[in-house]
Structure 1
């Protein structure tokens, strides 16, 4: 990767990780435009670690107030994605090389957001075990490229009766243990490349992802006040159809 490719990939990760449009799908598509820069899950996980820092920074006050029950809820919500990651990592990674599957996943995410957007505002202002399990299952589905983690988990929370702002907050915070765990499992692969210049490229992408991640979280929080995810649905449907068409030629 060159300097500008590193910035673009990092910025794409930072923005799309928190906007409900699928960071994994966009990274796979952008990577293909750069001649198949395919770092697989290892490269993506490093960028996810950068966005983890963004989450901790934005929600630092709430994280400081986390109690034992909230920690248990995070554990419960993290189990489904952890199981999928351990058992099906090879199958998931192979999906990154299939634009057709990514396009279909974009369409699926857009449809979910469209229908959830039509639901009334929830009344629950705190997460319970039912909500944690539901959002955890949604997060497990979102390991596939093109399926938005934030979109699916926020959608699950809203569908289970949470207020939109609370669903978003738990969605972002529950990403911390999953991203951290995946990063620890794959960190050895990141350093095994050993090529000079590769580390610098990763550093540039890492910093770009942190900065744009913070901006994206604040943008989502602002958009939640409007209670309208339809624009995301229209965008995902458009890019989904374009990706499918491109995969056929």
Structure 2
């Protein structure tokens, strides 16, 4: 993987982790057309995912600090309740990741027809929010679990995690700003957990980290971090303004193109 390829894939990861267009789907498409399989190198994958996690922490640093301070009060309060909802939302994706790890991994690796079909699903889900007008509620334990189920489905390449979780929250009547906040904070534990699992795999098979120059790794990390910062802040503004319909159109066009390409290739 060259520095330019690492730069492109890092930007794709950073932007699409937060924008409702599927980071996994775009990484699959990007890797396919560049002739590079970024997931084949665990170290690169760990670094770019770590970069997006770090950008989330930077953007929501005040929220995270408030949650931590609330937890250390050792009493049931708003922060403790929020943390409990985050933990509840993690259960579906955790179960799917543990029970179906091999099946999920088999879905990746250049299957652009599948990616295209799932991007069309993402487009439809985003479009539904355009007709949902009631957004005054808060995230409840019931809605947290349902949003967690949406996140579990987003493991499929082409289904946007942020798109599916935010759209689900909005369809459940959650306030736009609260929906975005919960969606971005709930992804931190799964990303960190996945990084730890990949790190474990890397320790057990260090040869999987070979083949990439240090410059490519550094460039990929920085690109993912900067792009993640921009995309996270941009996405919060987009959700507040109710502009998800534009991404529905984008996902529809890209998804249709990927489906046609997958059928022709």
TM (norm. structure 2) is: 0.89
| The 10-residue stretch of structure 1 (186-195 or 209-218) with the greater mean CA deviation from structure 2 | 186-195
Secondary structure at 2:100 match in 1: helix
Alignment of 1:192-207 (within 5 A): 192=206, 193-195=208-210, 197-207=212-222
Match of 1:109 in 2: 122
Counterpart in the other structure of 1:183: 195
* 1:112-157 superposed Cα distances (whole Å, 9 cap, x missing partner): 0001121013111x32201110110000000011000000000111
CA drift at 1:194: 3.9
The number of residue pairs the alignment matches comes to: 248
Structure exhibiting the larger radius of gyration computed from Cα positions:
2
Partner of 1:134: 146
* Runs of at least 5 residues in structure 1 that lack an aligned partner in the other structure: none
Tell me if structure 2 keeps the 8 A contact 1:55–1:214. Answer: yes
Tell me the residue number matched to 1:12: 12
**2:244 corresponds to which of 226, 229, 233:** 229
Give the Cα separation in 1 of the matches to 2:25 and 2:41.
12
Q: Deviations over 1:177-201 (max 9, x none)?
A: 1111111111133462242644442
**Are the counterparts in 2 of residues 109 and 151 from structure 1 also a CA contact under 8 Å?**
yes
Partner residue, 2:112: 99
> 1:45 offset after TM fit, Å?
4.5
Give 2:58's aligned residue: 57
Shift >6 Å, 4+ stretches: none
Q: Whole-Å Cα distance in 1 between the matches of residues 97 and 19 of structure 2?
A: 22
- 8 Å contact from structure 2 (residues 154, 161) kept in 1: yes
Q: 1:169 aligns with which of 177, 181, 201?
A: 181
Q: Cα distance, 1:164 vs. partner?
A: 1.2
Q: Give the match for residue 76 of structure 2.
A: none
Unmatched runs of 5 consecutive residues or more in structure 2:
68-78
Residues 199-231 of structure 1, C-alpha deviations (whole Å, 9 max, x = no match): 442222111111100000111122223212111
Q: 1:232 and 1:201, CA in 2 relative to 1: closer, same or farther beyond 3 A? A: same
Work out whether 1:37 is the aligned partner of 2:52: no
Larger mean Cα displacement after TM superposition, 16-25 or 78-87 = 78-87
CA RMSD of aligned residues (A): 1.6
For 1:241, the equivalent position in structure 2 comes to 256
Q: 1:215 aligns with which of 230, 252, 257?
A: 230
Instruction: Compute the displacement of 1:244 (Å).
Output: 0.8
2-structure distance, mates of 1:58, 1:65: 13
Under a length normalisation based on structure 1, what TM-score does the superposition of the two structures give?
0.94
CA distance in 2, matches of 1:198, 1:23: 24
Residues 10 and 206 of structure 1 are in contact (CA less than 8 Å); yes or no, is this contact kept in structure 2?
Answer: yes
In the alignment, the residues of structure 1 paired with residue 183 and residue 247 of structure 2 have an alpha-carbon distance, to the nearest angstrom, of 17
Pairing partner for 2:134 from 121, 144, 169:
121
Deviation at 1:44, TM superposition (A): 3.7
Task: Answer whether contact 2:115 2:255 (CA < 8 A) is retained.
Answer: yes
CA distance in 2, matches of 1:225, 1:154: 11
